Structure 1
Amino acid sequence: MAVGLGPLPTLHPVPGFELGIASAGIKRPGRKDIVVMRCAEGSTVAGVFTLNAFCAAPVILARSRFLGPVRYLLTNTGNANAGTGEPGIAAATRTCSALAELAGVDPSAVLPYSTGVIGEPLPVDKIVAALPDALADLAEDNWAAAAAGIMTTDTQPKGASRQFVHDGVTVTVTGISKGAGMIKPNMATMLGYIATDAKVAQGVLQDLLRDAANKSFNRITIDGDTSTNDCCMLIATGQAPVAEITQASGALFAALKQAVLEVSMEVAQAIVRDGEGATKFVTVQVNGGAAHQECLDVAYAVAHSPLIKTALFASDPNWGRILAAVGRAGVPQLDVSKIDVYLGDVCIASKGGRAASYTEEQGAAVMAREEIGIRIELGRGACSETIWTTDLSHEYVKINAEYRT
């Protein structure tokens, strides 16, 4: 059950960026599981990729190619092509070469992406057979169909779009993402694609994506598992008649940065809202840290605790579990007498123990909500961090127990 995640908003077409969807039947016949994206010639591309040492073959290939001229992005679902060794690299290369031949471009201009079951050979023939249909389907207004086409255990497609006006010209930023489990991005999300028609130098675009990912995709977690296939791409087609952005300054850059951040944040949080079996959307905010990393350490200790996550599912204000997680987060010389902990706006713990004003009824009222905030005041400094997570339900266990059946 997706928490607070409604129908897709309007996803504005991005001039110079087309998407085509087709069925290869990788996991089941008729499933739309292939998405081809075409970038206008001269587009610049930025990318951030998983830091998992067992990264998938398509990650290795895409990471080696994205700085060169890129014309096509090829995504398949149903098979991760991870844990497949050299044969996996060869399989990813074959799919890219097949698309390149059909499109009349160099194979190095095609970037592959895969998501699905780890350790199984990529069904190259099925993917290649579906490529003509995907190319025939290319259109700038196919974002919604593509958002559905990249889904695996997601229950709903995820997308966001922003537009702003600069010197009388409308500039568009639109993005989609997929992910619902195996989520603790260590760079970005499971898969994310964002495009703009602004013209941006590659170095500036790369820094822009890295900053946006760190504030959005790198602040979400469902189960603490960093995927083998995480990728997030930002494409600038340069089709809007505005000046090229060559440095991280000025009004146009500021407006684009804000739009990219908003789109990134919306599609990243949508992944949490659609977390496998999620019934709660949980914001964990840690303030008053001496360093940003210790704030993150505390936040993730809370977000990854199975005891806290199951209490959230049960709507049980078992605040002792939160204190235990904060205490084991590894913050050096932590003075618990300075720490305050809140559920929503209710102070549940203060000065090392239960807050004098706290009642079980207050805590239960907050925990009964679908959207819950946990705020921890460390009282050590001026640093703050916020992450987003879910509860842990029976359905999460069921989905992952039956994932390959």
Structure 2
Amino acid sequence: MNMTQFEGYKYIDGGVCASQGFQANGLNCGLNPDKEKNDLGMVYSKEPCQTAAVYTQNKVKGAPILVTKKHLEAGNGVTHAVLVNSKNANTGNANGEQVAAETSRLAADALGITEDQVVVASTGVIGLPMPTAPFADHMKQLVDGLSESGNDAAATAIMTTDTVKKQVAVEFEIDGKTCHLGGMAKGSGMIHPNMATTLNFITSDVAISHEMIQRALDEIVKITYNCLSIDGDTSTNDMVSVMANGLAGNEEICTTEDAGFAVFKQALYIVMMNMTRMLAKDGEGATKLLECTCKGAPDQETAIIVAKSVIRSPLFKCAMFGEDANWGRVLCAIGYADADFAIDTMDVDLSSAAGTLEVCRNGAGIDFSEEFAAKVLAEDEIYIDIDLKQGNGSAKAWGCDLTYDYVKINGDYRS
């Protein structure tokens, strides 16, 4: 996948281990009967980390989310580690919080930290009882195997129906100090966020306060993960956490006025935006990444609503799977977007690596070549560009096509 270049930021390898002082590991502990697939992962910093998080707004929340919230409150936002498992969401279980707390304690004891310094997360089947024995039996092995090159093992451990690992990291400067920010994400289905999406873990060596990380995360999640929709279902276990250990040595960022805050926030945007695109492209059964840009809106909020409305449309998603330039489905989705704007000034283009297809001008359709349209829509990344021509608001939203395989995958998810 092509990544947009940003001046002053360099893409690097390493994911959650790209930042100084972070280690990771992943292994199979037996939750997944396929011994070739990792199902338990850890990210760790010996130095304490200022930590912030956002969570799903689904009323049904996974027990790990409830426990992580308590940990961050008890520890004033200071953590050392993330413990995460796949295959079992630990949601809808009467003893779920007890289990999440117990697995956190096992990790804490093995690392020599306190229980409230662990971010705990789970993903997988809802309503399946969660055993603690696999955690207890493999925690020492997991901790002993932590390394600065363990990011791939950890990224694999959080995959469910994902077909590829999702990792991004960047290098940049604050106060003349070399800084890093990197992350890993999982998610392929049950993705329609309202605060966060899927499981996403981000690390940085920037010196920044817990409050400023939270502010940056709240702002960036709104224009990245919250603008992603695969299937309209908001998961019970969605979480994004950001940990920063300060090892870069910059002067600590404590206010929005600090020059480093904008630099940190941009790094966070780059990583989160790219992982959002990766999540969209790897949607369950997907064959195409869809990226909708709405500009010329009265304000940013309107642009977000319009772009998300198009990305969420099942009819449009099906049209993109069929490589059918049925742009009327774009117009329809724009029309029922819950915002105030006019449609008689609107332009719409469909584009890809094969070129740009103009389909609508000033709210009305225009003639186009079906042969050229077929070439544009045959590509695996399709861009929908909308210009309302009514202001300076702009936003992007990401999704994927809706295919036969999506139904197949979700028809027997538990197996």
Does the alignment pair 1:400 with 2:410? yes
Residue pairs, 1:287-302, within 5 angstroms:
287-302=295-310
1:340-363 CA distance string (max 9 Å, x none): 2221232212344322x4333343
Q: Deviations over 1:107-163 (max 9, x none)?
A: 222221000011111122122222111111112221122111111111111111111
Partner of 2:267: 259
* 1:306-361 residue CA offsets vs partner (Å, 9 max, x unmatched): 111111001011122222222222334x5432222221232212344322x43333
Asked whether 1:350 is paired with 2:386, we answer: no
| Distance in 1 between residues matched to 2:172 and 2:349, nearest whole Å | 37
Q: Which residue is 1:337 aligned to?
A: 344
Match of 1:37 among 15, 29, 43: 43
Q: Which shows bigger deviation, 137-146 or 286-295?
A: 286-295
Q: What SS does the aligned partner of 1:43 have?
A: strand
Worse overlay, 253-262 or 107-116: 253-262
- Separation in structure 2 between the aligned mates of residue 16 and residue 374 of structure 1, nearest angstrom: 41
**Worse overlay, 276-285 or 370-379:** 370-379
Q: Does 1:200 align with 2:223?
A: no
Q: 1:266 to 1:336 in 2, by over 3 A?
A: closer
| Contact kept in structure 2, 1:341 and 1:347, CA below 8 Å | yes
Correspondence list, 1:223-302, <5 A:
223-302=231-310
Matched residues in 1 for 2:119 and 2:375: separation? 49
Alignment of 1:51-200 (within 5 A): 51-67=57-73, 68=75, 69-84=78-93, 86-200=94-208
Amino acid at match of 1:392: L
- What letter corresponds to residue 21 of structure 2 in structure 1? G
Report percent identity of matched pairs: 35
- After superposition, what is the alpha-carbon deviation per residue over 1:188-230, rounded to whole angstroms, capped at 9, x for unaligned? 2211111111111111111122222222222221112111111
Counterpart Cα distance in 2 of 1:217 and 1:122: 28
Shift of 1:304: 1.5
* In 1: Cα distance, 2:403 partner to 2:259 partner: 45
Q: Give the alignment partner of residue 53 of structure 2, picking from 47, 61, 67.
A: 47
Query: 3-state DSSP class of the match of 1:116?
Result: coil
Q: Structure 1 stretches of 5 or more lacking a match? A: none
Q: CA separation in 2, counterparts of 1:63 and 1:126?
A: 24
How many residues get paired? 398
Residue number in structure 2 paired with 1:381: 391
335 and 267 in structure 1: CA distance in 2 versus 1, 3 angstrom threshold: closer
Counterpart amino acid of 1:296?
I
Q: Is the 8 A contact 1:34 1:150 kept in 2?
A: yes
Match of 1:28 in 2: 33
The Cα of 1:175 is off from its aligned counterpart by 1.0
CA distance in 1, matches of 2:116, 2:218: 23
1:377 maps to a residue whose letter is D
Tell me the amino acid that sits aligned with residue 343 of structure 1: L
**Which residue number corresponds to residue 369 of structure 1?**
379
Give distance in 1, aligned partners of 2:170 and 2:362: 44
Determine if contact 2:106/2:135 at 8 Å carries over to the other structure.
no
Secondary structure in 1 matching 2:52: strand
Aligned-partner Cα distance in 2 for 1:158–1:40: 24
> Are the counterparts in 2 of residues 35 and 76 from structure 1 also a CA contact under 8 Å?
yes
CA displacement 1:368-398 (0-9 Å, x = unmatched): 2211111222233321221011101111111
Letter in 1 for 2:360: A
2:21 is the counterpart of 1:10:
no
Q: Which residues in structure 2 correspond to 1:294-333 (within 5 Å)?
A: 294-332=302-340
Whole-Å Cα distance in 1 between the matches of residues 183 and 84 of structure 2?
A: 15
Deviates more, 1:363-372 or 1:112-121: 363-372
Query: Counterpart amino acid of 2:90?
Result: N
- Separation of aligned partners in 2, 1:63 and 1:131: 22
Deviations 1:10-50 (A, max 9, x none): 21532222212222111214232111222334321111111
Say what the alpha-carbon RMSD is for the aligned residues. 2.1
Residue 220 of structure 2: which of 209, 212, 218 is its match? 212
1:240-269 C-alpha deviation (Å, 9 max, x unpaired): 222211122344333322222211112221
- SS state at 1:174 partner: strand
* 3-state SS in 2 of match to 1:40: strand
TM-score where L is the length of structure 1: 0.92
* CA gap 1:253/1:336 in 2 versus in 1, 3 angstroms: closer
Structure 2 gaps, min length 5: 4-10
State the secondary structure of the residue aligned to 2:181. Answer: strand
Shift of 1:56: 0.6
Deviation, structure 1 residue 166: 4.1
> Normalising to structure 2: TM-score of the pair?
0.90
Equivalent residues of 2:18, 2:169 under 8 A apart: no
